[in-house]
Structure 1
């Protein structure tokens, strides 16, 4: 075992211990709403749940986080947590047409009935996790996911490729919801023989390679006009290091699946660009946003890009064998641990400022999916390499 791999393994052990002994218990005992259902969006840094509206993109993330809890070694009631989250999700967020609404109140009342593409992607993703984790719910989960997929194809399909953000179409189009839809259809492709999942994965991958990637730099743009050209002005030049890593991780997976060396090369270029241009060495963390010429657009550093840095690094290490990626994984894990040092164990801070201070605010539940998945991927690759 190389020194860098050994360092990564030790940090993996710290992250798993934190997740199993602190994070999973508090987000179930405090973060779950055992009276009304579902999960709270936030826990304050004193360890108390914060009441408020609940977004349609957060609950499926919590469902996913608990669906993989058993794989990470949590011996708590992870199946019950998945069932708890799923019951509220289907009762409060699912619209009569099978799509999922954007926002509900604490008791499940609809506050925004919009069926945003981003939220539909997370619905499909969470349902894949349910199908895998709870075999007795697999057919139900598949039926629900296919309903969402077919509604998107019928109502949102873009004539070139991909999907419109809303119905009727509105600008800008975005790469980010397509990234999460890509993740979702890859998850279903791994467990369901329906060829439509693979066809959609192929379509989104080709769209990303053809339209999302800035040809001169390999950077992934965020915003586009209705013809998939970069959006006008600075908006069309924004590139996020966290998404460089996240797209890189996904395209590495798809490149292996499809036998596409060009996708693998593009993915590694994204990952290397994110690492060399998008990491602040003083803080040891990936920053929020660059422009397509590598200029800094936002030098704050949220938590989630750190998790994507880890995922991209370990998969690149597995595929290429290059030890530099184990060093990247270890540095990414050290960066992530900076956010996890909170007065109440199992929580996190989200926004790391350029002056090396954190915004003092409640821990957002939306980060748990990112953290848990990064630890799971790190664990998988390190176990395979050891």
Structure 2
């Protein structure tokens, strides 16, 4: 079987799992149809787990259901998007228009912090709403523009990007910028306001000039207040999942902006993640390396597996090289290891070095990673000449 045919077969299996098991379960059981929003977890017996709800999770669920129609789910995906959005705007939006970090099950504020990471997901979900529910686009854009303007007014870093806090504190982080990058690219696809592309260009440039460790080609995680690597081990941490995720975003931006340097850097970091960040015994990408490729954390969460798929299928499209389809197939096989649960449509999250999983409820936060990977996989396979 050719590399592409193998990948296409695995795409079919993942898509079937999403449409027949995951989407129905996370709407019927994972949505809180009484109080609003979505539960953070479903236990492995298929029962929702109530508790505090993070501000970064609900927008991921909104995005996942906004994508459901494109993937072919015939369930009430528009209703799911509207259901999530109603609770999000009611419970998480602060009086200043930014979004808080944590609420209780009844929507009461438990943590009013407005982290840039959470604002990125707010804008990302609003772009998904604008695409999925065109009649809500003007409303979604107005809210997203306000969030972006507040970040610029209160957190702007003179060298590019944003401070974590106001007043500034260390460490600065690349990860929130990755999701801001993702949000700006998402808005750029649905709206012609030049502000989205301008910030995408700024973050892309920051990644190429400040975030990448030159010798290894990997993206670093933590920095001082001048965008230099944070002192000690912290400044040396490079996560394979983020090499894939940043690589995927930089490939998209490089193609959009005509930046061959971004495409070259992206392919290098994806290659680094695959060569040094995958445990061949388990067939999965691990959590963290250091900048010399030494292993820092060899547990393996679910989300890096999804990013491995996204990076490889886009690399396959851009380069035309079959080896990336091999990587995509390996990534899909790795991901499916996490999806083998007693109740179809759930997943495990933490795969340990001894080849066992932590037994715990399935976290809703992973659904965005999974659905985004399946959608990207599906687009790439569908666009391949062999599928014509």
What TM-score, normalized to structure 1?
A: 0.99
Cα drift, residue 109 of structure 1: 0.1
- Match of residue 227 from structure 1: 226
- Once residues 363 and 10 of structure 1 are traced to their aligned partners in structure 2, the CA distance between those partners, rounded to angstroms, is 26
- Match of residue 86 from structure 1: 85
- Once residues 165 and 71 of structure 2 are traced to their aligned partners in structure 1, the CA distance between those partners, rounded to angstroms, is 36
- Counterpart secondary structure, 1:68: helix
- Match of residue 72 from structure 1: 71
For residues 234-383 of structure 1, what are the structure 2 equivalents within 5 Å? Answer: 234-383=233-382
- Counterpart secondary structure, 2:296: strand
Q: CA RMSD in A?
A: 0.6
Cα drift, residue 355 of structure 1: 0.6
- Once residues 307 and 290 of structure 1 are traced to their aligned partners in structure 2, the CA distance between those partners, rounded to angstroms, is 18
Cα drift, residue 370 of structure 1: 0.2
- Once residues 67 and 318 of structure 2 are traced to their aligned partners in structure 1, the CA distance between those partners, rounded to angstroms, is 23
- Match of residue 384 from structure 1: 383
- Match of residue 15 from structure 1: 14
Cα drift, residue 167 of structure 1: 1.5
1:161-180 superposed Cα distances (whole Å, 9 cap, x missing partner): 00011222111000000000
- Once residues 213 and 279 of structure 1 are traced to their aligned partners in structure 2, the CA distance between those partners, rounded to angstroms, is 20
- Once residues 235 and 85 of structure 1 are traced to their aligned partners in structure 2, the CA distance between those partners, rounded to angstroms, is 36
- Once residues 189 and 83 of structure 2 are traced to their aligned partners in structure 1, the CA distance between those partners, rounded to angstroms, is 25
- Match of residue 172 from structure 2: 173
- Counterpart secondary structure, 2:268: helix
1:254-274 superposed Cα distances (whole Å, 9 cap, x missing partner): 000110110000000000000
Cα drift, residue 232 of structure 1: 0.5
- Once residues 343 and 9 of structure 1 are traced to their aligned partners in structure 2, the CA distance between those partners, rounded to angstroms, is 25
- Once residues 69 and 187 of structure 2 are traced to their aligned partners in structure 1, the CA distance between those partners, rounded to angstroms, is 20
- Once residues 267 and 307 of structure 1 are traced to their aligned partners in structure 2, the CA distance between those partners, rounded to angstroms, is 17
User: After TM superposition, what 4+ stretches of structure 1 lie above 4 angstroms from structure 2?
Assistant: none
1:195-223 superposed Cα distances (whole Å, 9 cap, x missing partner): 11111000000000001000111011000
For residues 48-63 of structure 1, what are the structure 2 equivalents within 5 Å? Answer: 48-63=47-62
- Once residues 236 and 204 of structure 1 are traced to their aligned partners in structure 2, the CA distance between those partners, rounded to angstroms, is 19
- Counterpart secondary structure, 2:219: coil
Cα drift, residue 142 of structure 1: 0.4
What TM-score, normalized to structure 2?
A: 0.99
- Match of residue 110 from structure 2: 111
- Match of residue 190 from structure 2: 191
Q: Which runs of 5 or more residues in structure 1 are unaligned?
A: none
